[in-house]
A and B are shown apart, each in its own frame.
Chain A
Amino acid sequence: MPVIEEGASRRRGARFRQGLLGLGVGLLGLFVADAVHLRNPPLAGESLGDVFVPDPAVAGLVSLGFGAVVSDFYWLQAIQAAGGDVRITPELGAHLGQLIDVVTTLNPWVDHPYRFAGIWLTQSEQNVRTANRLLRRGIEKHPDDWRNHYYLGFNHFFYLLENAEAAEVLEGASRLAGAPRYLPRLAARLKSESADLEVASVFLQELLRGAQGEAARESYRSALDEIEIEQRARQLDGARVRFRELEGRDIETVDELTRGATPLLGALPSPEPSSLPASLRRGSEWIVDPSDNRIVSTYYGKRYQLHVPASDRERAEGWAREKELREAAGR
């Protein structure tokens, strides 16, 4: 009997040693794999090139009934690609467009990704056209949601200078439940005259109100701040014209508008955005820019050209010219 017990005990001991050995080998393998893995950490810039974005039709075919979850995967990829401090280039915009195309093809009932495209695909005319195509798909699936119409209208107005199309889209949106009351007025204005600062301001305020994500909100706030300063600069322009009429000469400094026998202004408006916290105020002032003789706030150092920053305006006009050339070549 003790011999049998001894044998059993030996076997148990052997099994225990084998188990320990197995565990040790397993842990060693894990350690080596981890060390090898950590030798080549992914670079921040690699993410764009590394994510393979399939053709939406092919993705639909191979998702084997798991379209919704594959769509979610690419949605998360899109968020990762656009998030953080990444600067959105036309290439990244195109990449995001491909991702959202897959997302909305595999699951066209998604809601926010359509507007995500509207927010982020703005770096080239092609980006904006892709965003508009996706927003139209969103409108097809969610015809009663005024927001997709709104973003589409904004893109036509702001980036493509297509006021007639913007008016048409916004007119449709204004009839939908929940749409802001000013939409019909906005659409009418877009139809009747070229869009101005007020129109841009109203658009941006609404976009800010509905924006999700701090980066998008910050972008809208910053555009609204520029518009506010431009409105004040235009007020000073008006006073300057009256000054010339009264004094028969131009101002040398902007302060002159508040001085003299008959001051045209009680005080100069603040040259800094009213939303700027006191801690960030830097004592900016109004000056007459010697390069173009226009009144500017030293806070921005330049004037806001119409309703969009000069660079955006030039870009939009450039796109429009390219489009005309393409159409001319096509004819």
Chain B
Amino acid sequence: MTGSLHRIWPIATNTVREAVRHRLLYTLLFFAVTMIGFAVLIASLSYVEGERIIQDIGLASIRLFSVGIAIFVGIGLIHGEVDRRTIYTILAKPVTRAEFLLGKFFGLLLTVWLQLLLMGLAFVLVSLSVGAPLDWGYAAALFLVGIELMVIVAVATLFSSFSTPMLSAFFTLGIYALGHLSRNLYFLGQEAEVDSVRRAATLLYRVLPDLETFNVSIQAVHGLPIPASEVAWAVLYGLAYTTALLSLAIYIFHRRDLE
């Protein structure tokens, strides 16, 4: 176990180094921070509740651009190694494919968490500058964005383990959209008169990630209570779902012909 960690860690740190050299990362980060600052201008169009609008836009920008970074930086990581043939050098060493994949996953996760931290900092600075309220609810909201990103990075890792970057991006975006729709699909399905439709809706709801579990932005901005148990269950759900996705990714990557 410790040996595995010793092999995963260098791959992860190398992935972080590789990711931070990615121009796209800085472009998206720049847009995210600009958007958070730009929120002040947009909010000035409203004569009331400007602080709330600033924070709504701020949190939405963080979520949108974080997912953008996770998807568009993440999808090419494995493909790039195969394309450049550096994967053969790595796998020729005593490193299993599972360790390689997990290294890539943790590297990307560290990268997106790092940029989440930077965006969170920009959000706090903008909130403080306009005198908007800040409490633990915002910390919980940002923390759960981090957990949502973990699931999205796992989805991106899964698809990049067997697909091209373009298709991986397409699939991951699809899962992201469906993940935010799965609750509504479930409720819509339950209203159907046909039993098979109801069952299909339930199945989809249980198989697809329920990403709305990690979305407590509205509660944070409106100062509504966010129970610790709700956060704990969301974390447990995120960890379990990520484990399932990574297991599937490792299984597929093991069977993949890299020649």
Q: A61-B184, A64-B180, A66-B60 are in contact. Are A79 and B221 (CB under 8 A)?
A: no
CB distance from B16 to the nearest CB of A (A): 27
Q: Please measure, in the bound complex, the distance between the C-alpha atom of A110 and the C-alpha atom of B176, giving whole angstroms.
A: 26
Tell me, yes or no, whether B181 is within 8 Å of chain A by CB.
Answer: yes
Main secondary structure of the interface of A (DSSP, over half): helix
Q: A65-B212, A69-B57 are in contact. Are A107 and B218 (CB under 8 A)?
A: yes
Q: Please measure, in the bound complex, the distance between the C-alpha atom of A65 and the C-alpha atom of B215, giving whole angstroms.
A: 7
Find out whether the CB atom of B56 lies under 8 angstroms from the CB atom of A68.
yes
**What residues of B have a CB within 8 angstroms of the CB of A69 in the complex?**
56-57, 60
Interface residues in A70-93 by Cβ distance below 8 A to B read: 71-72, 75-76, 79-80
CB distance from B145 to the nearest CB of A (A): 10
Find out whether the CB atom of B212 lies under 8 angstroms from the CB atom of A60.
no
- From B5-13, B19-27, B42-50, B159-167, the one touching the partner chain is B42-50
Find out whether the CB atom of B181 lies under 8 angstroms from the CB atom of A64.
yes
Chain B contact patch, size range: 20 to 34
Per-position 1/0 for B181-193, Cβ under 8 A of A: 1001000000000
Tell me, yes or no, whether A225 is within 8 Å of chain B by CB.
Answer: no
Find out whether the CB atom of A112 lies under 8 angstroms from the CB atom of B48.
yes
**What residues of B have a CB within 8 angstroms of the CB of A107 in the complex?**
56, 218
Find out whether the CB atom of A79 lies under 8 angstroms from the CB atom of B46.
yes
**What residues of A have a CB within 8 angstroms of the CB of B52 in the complex?**
110
Find out whether the CB atom of A65 lies under 8 angstroms from the CB atom of B42.
no
Tell me, yes or no, whether A277 is within 8 Å of chain B by CB.
Answer: no
Find out whether the CB atom of B222 lies under 8 angstroms from the CB atom of A109.
yes
Q: Which residue of B lies closest to A80 (CB)?
A: B45
**What residues of B have a CB within 8 angstroms of the CB of A60 in the complex?**
184
Q: Which residue of A lies closest to B56 (CB)?
A: A68
How many residues of chain A have a CB within 8 Å of chain B?
Answer: 21
Q: Please measure, in the bound complex, the distance between the C-alpha atom of A212 and the C-alpha atom of B49, giving whole angstroms.
A: 12
Q: Which residue of A lies closest to B221 (CB)?
A: A68
Find out whether the CB atom of A67 lies under 8 angstroms from the CB atom of B218.
yes
CB distance from A80 to the nearest CB of B (A): 8
Identify which of B46, B47, B63, B224 contacts A65 (C-beta below 8 A): B63
Find out whether the CB atom of A76 lies under 8 angstroms from the CB atom of B46.
yes
Find out whether the CB atom of B49 lies under 8 angstroms from the CB atom of A112.
yes
Tell me, yes or no, whether B64 is within 8 Å of chain A by CB.
Answer: yes
Q: List 21 A-B contacts (CB under 8 A).
A: A60-B184, A61-B184, A64-B177, A65-B63, A65-B212, A66-B60, A66-B63, A68-B59, A68-B60, A68-B221, A72-B42, A72-B57, A76-B45, A76-B46, A76-B53, A79-B46, A107-B56, A109-B224, A110-B49, A112-B48, A213-B47
The 7 closest A-B pairs by CB, nearest first: A69-B60, A65-B180, A64-B180, A109-B222, A112-B48, A68-B56, A65-B215
13 extra interface residue pairs, beta carbon distance < 8 Å, beyond A69-B57, A72-B42: A61-B181, A64-B181, A65-B180, A65-B211, A68-B217, A69-B56, A76-B46, A79-B46, A80-B45, A107-B56, A111-B48, A112-B48, A213-B47
